[in-house]
């Protein structure tokens, strides 16, 4: 994509996030490098105690408590991350400040939305004999699928397009791709895009994973998320948000913006096979397609951030494809962020990419933690285990993110 003119090349110039162990990129990077998990047990209606990733961040920094109460948790997380991303990019949308509110688009990846609010309301009316007179008038504006994106536009006065991209756990990447495409089409000049998840508020999501035999458990919650380990037993569900400011290389250079990297390749495809089981060969096709679009060889990739969630079959499927693609790539390193922060669903892909982007500057590959007995079927070459590793160069990062119903996404970011 380097052959594209500068007004078609898309770069990341701002990152705002709320992760289960940090509320800004610098702290987040320090925690993932140290392999510090802050996964804890929460008490959930009907479920009891379960490990989960919960975000602690200044919720009223950018929006009144009244609006947080009226909106959703996803909206609250998204509004925080959106404001932080703009601040990080050194951007305001004030008149004459460079980017116009009507030329700004908000694209938010969601795994699901409305589950938390619906469960809460059913519980609420159960306290009143299931009389629907007690059902809240806030239900519809809270559960429409554009809710988190719309809350962001209201908070920031953005009058360009906003909508959600539903793509199961590939949603964060999918929304980034949407942002790139809308910039290239000239639909907007600035894209605020990424993913949000409020999943830890839904007992149904936990219960469904449990029913599938895919909900992680461990006496020490910080050790519950253990992709690639023989003793892995499922997913740790987390909430989170991570939004990026995307703009064209041309505009970013004109205003002297700090550039995290250029999105040089992406791909999405579908397994077309199963509701829940992942399919390695199709995932591998997705990786190859992204590489081909980026004009890169596997050996050009310095870090592969894996999607692996800690399920038995899912981890193996992904690793099979990666081992084959990166067979002769001695300088390609692999890691997994979910081992540290759990699975942030719609925010997963974008949080995991953010966890790795600072490697362009510090040349460190953050570790995959909780690997005590590596599953031989997940023995990726150069898997960075338990301790961060310093490497010679980090110029290109590839980020995998896959989801239910067989949706696969890959994003490749290159240092500029």
Partner 1 sequence: MTRDAIKEIVIEIIKDIDEEANTAALAADRPLRDQLDLDSMDFLDIVMELRKRYKLQIPEEDYPQLNTLESCVNYLEPKLRHL
Footprint on this chain of partner 1 (rule: CB under 8 A): 64-66, 69-70, 128, 133-134, 136-138, 141
Separation of first and last alpha carbons in the chain = 13
Given the complex with partner 1, which of 127 and 330 has the nearer CB atom? Answer: 127
Query: Which candidate in 62, 113, 307, 366 is catalytic?
Result: 307
Q: Least CB distance from residue 122 to partner 1, whole Å?
A: 16
**Distance from the Cα of residue 382 to its chain's centroid:** 23
Does residue 169 carry a catalytic annotation? Answer: yes
Closest alpha carbon to 397 in 304, 315, 323: 304
| Contact in structure between 344 and 205 (CB atoms under 8 Å) | no
Given the complex with partner 1, which of 146 and 337 has the nearer CB atom? Answer: 146
Helix (H, G, I), strand (E, B) or coil at 272: coil
Does residue 62 carry a catalytic annotation? Answer: no
Given the complex with partner 1, which of 124 and 217 has the nearer CB atom? Answer: 124
Does residue 245 carry a catalytic annotation? Answer: no
Q: How many CB atoms lie within 10 A of CB 186?
A: 11
Sheet strand arrangement including 40-44: 40-44, 48-53, 237-238
> Tokens representing 191?
């894209």
Query: Which candidate in 76, 169, 193, 378 is catalytic?
Result: 169
User: Please, which residues have CB within 8 angstroms of residue 206's CB and are 6 or more apart in sequence?
Assistant: 44, 47, 50, 52, 215, 237
Q: Least CB distance from residue 114 to partner 1, whole Å?
A: 18
Q: Least CB distance from residue 163 to partner 1, whole Å?
A: 22
Q: How many CB atoms lie within 10 A of CB 254?
A: 12
Say how far apart CA 178 and CA 149 lie, in whole Å: 13
Radius of gyration of the chain (CA): 20
Q: Least CB distance from residue 66 to partner 1, whole Å?
A: 4
Q: What is the DSSP letter of 60?
A: T
Query: Which candidate in 83, 162, 343, 366 is catalytic?
Result: 343
Q: Least CB distance from residue 136 to partner 1, whole Å?
A: 7
Given the complex with partner 1, which of 3 and 69 has the nearer CB atom? Answer: 69
Given the complex with partner 1, which of 3 and 137 has the nearer CB atom? Answer: 137
Please identify which residue in the block is written with the tokens 């907007």. Answer: 188
Q: Which residues does the annotation mark as catalytic?
A: 169, 307, 343
């Amino acid at each position: 994509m380097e052959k594209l003119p500068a007004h078609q090349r898309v770069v990341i110039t701002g990152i705002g996030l709320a992760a289960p162990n940090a509320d800004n990129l610098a702290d987040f990077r320090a925690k993932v490098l140290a392999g510090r998990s802050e996964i804890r047990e929460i008490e959930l209606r009907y479920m009891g105690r379960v490990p989960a990733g919960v975000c602690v961040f200044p919720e009223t920094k950018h929006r009144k408590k009244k609006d947080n109460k009226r909106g959703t948790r996803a909206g609250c997380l998204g509004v925080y991350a959106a404001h932080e991303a703009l601040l990080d990019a050194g951007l305001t949308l004030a008149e004459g400040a460079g980017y116009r509110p009507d030329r700004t688009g908000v694209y938010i990846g969601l795994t699901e939305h409305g589950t938390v609010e619906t469960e809460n309301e059913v519980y609420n009316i159960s306290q009143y004999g299931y009389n629907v007179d007690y059902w809240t008038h806030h239900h519809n504006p809270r559960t429409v699928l554009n809710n988190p994106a719309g809350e962001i536009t209201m908070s920031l006065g953005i009058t360009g397009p906003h909508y959600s991209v539903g793509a199961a756990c590939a949603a964060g990447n999918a929304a980034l791709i949407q942002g790139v495409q809308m910039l290239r089409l000239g639909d907007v000049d600035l894209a605020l895009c990424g993913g949000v998840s409020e999943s830890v508020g839904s007992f149904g999501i936990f219960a469904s994973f449990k029913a599938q035999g895919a909900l992680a458990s461990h006496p020490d919650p910080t050790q519950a998320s253990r992709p690639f380990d023989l003793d892995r037993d499922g997913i740790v569900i987390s909430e989170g948000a991570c939004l990026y400011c995307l703009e064209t290389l041309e505009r970013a250079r004109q205003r002297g913006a700090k550039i995290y990297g250029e999105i040089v390749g992406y791909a999405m495809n579908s397994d077309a096979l199963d509701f829940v089981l992942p399919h390695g060969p199709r995932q591998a096709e997705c990786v190859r397609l992204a590489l081909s679009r980026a004009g890169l060889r596997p050996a050009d990739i310095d870090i592969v951030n894996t999607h692996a969630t800690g399920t038995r079959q899912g981890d193996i499927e992904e690793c099979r494809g990666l081992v084959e693609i990166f067979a002769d790539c001695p300088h390609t390193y692999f890691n997994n962020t979910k081992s540290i922060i759990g699975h942030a669903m719609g925010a997963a892909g974008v949080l995991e990419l953010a966890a790795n982007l600072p490697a362009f500057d510090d040349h460190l590959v953050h570790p995959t933690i909780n690997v005590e007995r590596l599953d031989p079927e997940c023995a990726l070459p150069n898997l960075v285990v338990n301790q961060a590793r310093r490497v010679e160069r980090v110029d290109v990062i590839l980020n995998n993110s896959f989801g239910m119903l067989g949706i696969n996404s890959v994003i490749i970011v290159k240092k500029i």
